Structure 1
Amino acid sequence: MIVLGIETATMTGGLALIDEEKLISEYTLNMKTTHSSRLMPALDWILKDASLDKNQINGIAISIGPGSFTGLRIGLATAKGLAMGLNIPLVTVPTLDALANNATYSPYQICPVLDARKKEVYFAFYRYADNILMRESSYQVISPDKLIDQINEKTIMLGDGLNIYGELFKEKLGDLAIFVSNSQRLPKASVIAELGLSKLKAGEIADLASSEPLYIRRADAEIKAR
């Protein structure tokens, strides 16, 4: 089974192809450019380099959020279009879950932190139990200071929220805040694909008509319309 993973929840966009044994190909770009302009060219590129055709893809996994409202909409629309056009299943993967998986088998609490703008962050707490990553909180959006108040033990922190609030976390939390390397801070399409493969095997297929991004809070446009 070949799975295409799509990550557009943050400025770091990416695509990956995996099968049940290995990572076949991955593309990541961490630059200020629109996902809509690079997704399909990137897909053509990784397929060509892997000597594969779109029709050989058996399923699609999409990073569903939270994250950039625009990025999430672009990614999900692209994933739905591909799934419908190729007549293959789509699965959704929460972005924070995928990020937490970057801190493989950590003995400490794990806290992925994404910039939510408006001086807030998206986060959730995770921990490994019997080598299985378990989420221990709901997905939340709060101020960095309120997040700091909830951390009272050594915690692995990762995500683009560190680019903005990393100094604050270090100042307030000291040795309790453990930052992963820069290469592990970013969401990875390959992790989306791996988690998606597990969902496909479990039959957790998304409904193309009703699937929506995991926003946590409403977009500004929706708030203004009320």
Structure 2
Amino acid sequence: MKLALDTSQSSGSIALWDKGKTIWSACFDIRITHSETLMPQIDTAMKFCGYKPADIKTVLVTSGPGSFTGLRIGLATAKGIAYALKIPILTYSSLQLYALQRYHCGKDILVLLDAKMQEVYAALYNENLEEIYPPQVCTLEHILSWELRDCYLMERGINSLELLSQEKNVPFISVPYLPISAAGLFLLKEIFPQPEIYNLDYIANLEPKYLREYNAQIQKHKN
């Protein structure tokens, strides 16, 4: 059985996979912190489906970019489970998870998430979810320098469609917002397989992919 976690945004999701199919998928809007929500959600899913912690054989988790606090909590939870059960962790990009909604739909996929401070987390994928422009933090103006063709536009927390359409003269197809489920990580695992090997050093050194320093680090450097 496999457990998938996504806490990269203000909303979160978990999913369970067993015997070739998703058996539990739940999305939850965060009104309190991920630290108070994630473990109860996992516990509920496990009990409802009749599993014990020892049944988990692999943990899949988004490693970023996204909410600094959310990423730390999600990865720390995954690492704690992996340490306790001596099982592997597989990590995937949160932007790639978003792009999954338009996998094999015939166009490139531009993903933009609000990074605050007038910046966005951005990546451009082809229809096979292969990187054209890798995940990065930048301004919308910087994205205007990208070579963009007719593509799907997936964004959260910002409204860039009008700006990009006017400046690039490209017929973007805006994708309506849908909740993103951690169950998509199971498909990413099939598309981009990774070795499922328990490696203590690898797990110990796993860190969130923030793409930039968080505010506390910036302030520390200034001082």
TM bucket normalised to smaller:
0.7 to 0.9
Return the letter of the residue paired with 2:206: S
Greater relative CO (CA pairs within 8 A, separation 6+) = 1
Q: Measured at CA, do residues 145 and 181 of structure 1 come closer, stay the same or move farther in structure 2, by a change above 3 Å?
A: same
**Residue matched to 2:217:** 222
What CA deviation, in whole Å up to 9, does each residue of 1:172-225 have, x standing for no partner? 567622122321xx4321112433466676347671110000111111111111
**Residue matched to 2:183:** 190
Q: Within 5 A, what are the aligned runs for 1:77-226?
A: 77-128=76-127, 132-150=128-146, 152-162=148-158, 164-166=159-161, 168-169=163-164, 172=167, 176-183=171-178, 186-196=179-189, 202-203=195-196, 207-226=202-221
> Contact 1:6 / 1:193 at 8 angstroms: preserved in 2?
no
**Cα RMSD after superposing both structures:** 2.3
**Residue matched to 2:17:** 18
Return the letter of the residue paired with 2:181: K
> Contact 2:5 / 2:62 at 8 angstroms: preserved in 1?
yes
TM-score with structure 2 setting the length: 0.87
Q: Measured at CA, do residues 199 and 108 of structure 1 come closer, stay the same or move farther in structure 2, by a change above 3 Å?
A: closer
TM-score with structure 1 setting the length: 0.86
- Identity rate of aligned residues, in percent? 31
- Deviation at 1:118? 0.5
Q: Measured at CA, do residues 149 and 65 of structure 1 come closer, stay the same or move farther in structure 2, by a change above 3 Å?
A: same
Q: Measured at CA, do residues 168 and 188 of structure 1 come closer, stay the same or move farther in structure 2, by a change above 3 Å?
A: farther
Q: Distance in 2 between matches of 1:48 and 1:159?
A: 35
Instruction: Could you tell me which runs of 5 or more consecutive residues in structure 1 were left unpaired when the two chains were aligned.
Output: none
> Contact 1:12 / 1:28 at 8 angstroms: preserved in 2?
yes
Return the letter of the residue paired with 1:125: L
> Contact 1:125 / 1:136 at 8 angstroms: preserved in 2?
yes
Q: Distance in 2 between matches of 1:220 and 1:125?
A: 26
Bigger drift between 12-21 and 194-203 goes to: 194-203
Q: Kindly tell me the number of residue pairs found equivalent between the two proteins.
A: 219
Q: Measured at CA, do residues 224 and 154 of structure 1 come closer, stay the same or move farther in structure 2, by a change above 3 Å?
A: same
- 1:83 is paired with a residue whose SS is helix
Q: Distance in 1 between matches of 2:198 and 2:98?
A: 21
- Deviation at 1:32? 3.7
Q: Distance in 2 between matches of 1:205 and 1:180?
A: 38
